[in-house]
Chains A and B, each alone.
Chain A
């Protein structure tokens, strides 16, 4: 009896939390179809008016293109560096390994504002001109710990006798990696890359220090429009980003499932 009531309280509380997480997002999506300039809620009518305005506005399209480019580049770099680093940390023995792991994870601990300030000062001092590459290398840094942890946790589960078997049968180490190790850990690498893309696509606080007129990213646009209130196109942009950031990982999840099925 008592148990029953506790569980009900937990259920009720959880429902409230879900509502607080989902209602704001739902309102954005609904408002994006509201033709009024000052969007009251609920809308009196629905239309695609602001979608039309959105696609005619180069500012938005450019930001989306920059964000996608940076996201893909960071995902590729994170996938490569994260995998190589995780392989090294799992398969090799070297001194002060535990301390070095913490070093690798520092980007998770240092507040993004500080990362933004520090990198800007550094790049300016060494005379590296502000460009999209600032954002790419720094987004790679910010997402790298996550990529590393994901690939490493997969390698911990990895049965090394499979590699030994391949090498006993005459495969050299590179072939072994290509034919045995990589296929097994590739779902984890994919997860790592998707997460890196998502982190890059959404990063705002550090990125605001690195952008300039031609490399403005989507979060920067949304933020500045939210501050200067506001053209309704921001709801369209937010809705599209919402769709992309949910659909991309879901598609990856499906691909990943396929990969896992093929292997067994």
Chain B
């Protein structure tokens, strides 16, 4: 009698112990689960992208309906007409141009903050970081008040008498580029700053003591050491400018319809989801191609990490 009791107690104890251990384990496993983020990315990005692939082979019917049959219509429309091809080429061209301008400017500022050793350095850095925090829409909208007919620049020029009529600065390619460049600059400045600030000053001094000129010391010592920052900056600058939406729409002219706004128009105003899907896919594949070429020269993960500094 007592022995069975004891038995039952010990079994129950053992059972409870196992249960707690299991529960603890499960909770721990949850805390250590790499899967959660992956599932989120899978469900809300990769599956939707796959559905986009399917949609690009459908056809848009009357109004907002979609005809679910296999067709190459959307791709043929892209191949036959030069309109959309030209838009994509122009977007990538703007991406390259912006990168070529942002690289020297961003490098200069990143280098300046990295090498300036004063009590102002944190504030100089902070002023750049703050740019990340202020919504892009606001930073772009701000240029309207600067470049518009009644804007700061025109009012100033009229006041000095340099021009008799307000200049057309807003709704031009130059206006768009200006807004794009300034808004993207922080993505170049911060990674360059991060790599410049880790360089030991003595290495550069050593090069100079050995007789290297300023330029030579920069090209052979500083530049290679800051290369990871540069690579990170180039990656973000290109992706963000080739896919820009706000700057071309708010500041650009009628010829500045880039791929991102065009896809949005096809999707939301024409309600042609299948064609928007095809355009998206072509665009994503081209970005993917650029990324592939990129990974042959640099480490993608490292470059992406540069932006979270």
Contact = CB atoms under 8 A, between A and B. Distances in A.
Interface of A: 2-3, 6, 10-11, 13-14, 17-18, 20-25, 27-28, 31, 38-41, 81-82, 84-85, 87-89, 91-92, 94, 98, 100-122, 125, 137-138, 140-141, 144-146, 148-150, 153, 172-174, 177, 195, 198, 201-202, 204-205, 208-209, 218-219, 222-223, 226-227, 234-235, 238, 241-242, 245-246, 249
Contacts of A150: 308
B293 interface: no
B301 A122 contact: no
Majority secondary structure of chain A interface residues (helix, strand, loop or mixed): helix
21 contacts: A21-B127, A21-B131, A39-B150, A40-B155, A84-B31, A85-B38, A100-B38, A104-B38, A113-B264, A114-B284, A117-B277, A118-B51, A121-B48, A122-B51, A149-B305, A153-B305, A174-B28, A177-B28, A202-B137, A222-B138, A234-B141
A17 B185 contact: yes
Contacts of A153: 305, 308
B37 to A, nearest CB: 3
A242 B138 contact: yes
A226 B301 contact: no
Contact of B138 (A117, A118, A148, A238): A238
Contact of B37 (A28, A144, A222): A144
Interface stretch (B10-18, B80-88, B103-111): B103-111
Interface string B273-309: 1001100100110010001000000001100110110
B30 to A, nearest CB: 7
A227 B250 contact: yes
B134 A246 contact: yes
A186 to B, nearest CB: 14
Nearest to B264: A113
B49 A81 contact: no
Contact of A198 (B133, B143, B277, B308): B133
Contacts of A2: 214
Majority secondary structure of chain B interface residues (helix, strand, loop or mixed): helix
Contact of B280 (A31, A117, A218): A117
A153 B141 CA distance: 35
A117 B275 CA distance: 11
Interface string B30-44: 111111111011101
B137 A204 contact: yes
Contacts of A177: 28, 31
Contact of B135 (A21, A141, A218, A249): A218
A12 B249 CA distance: 32
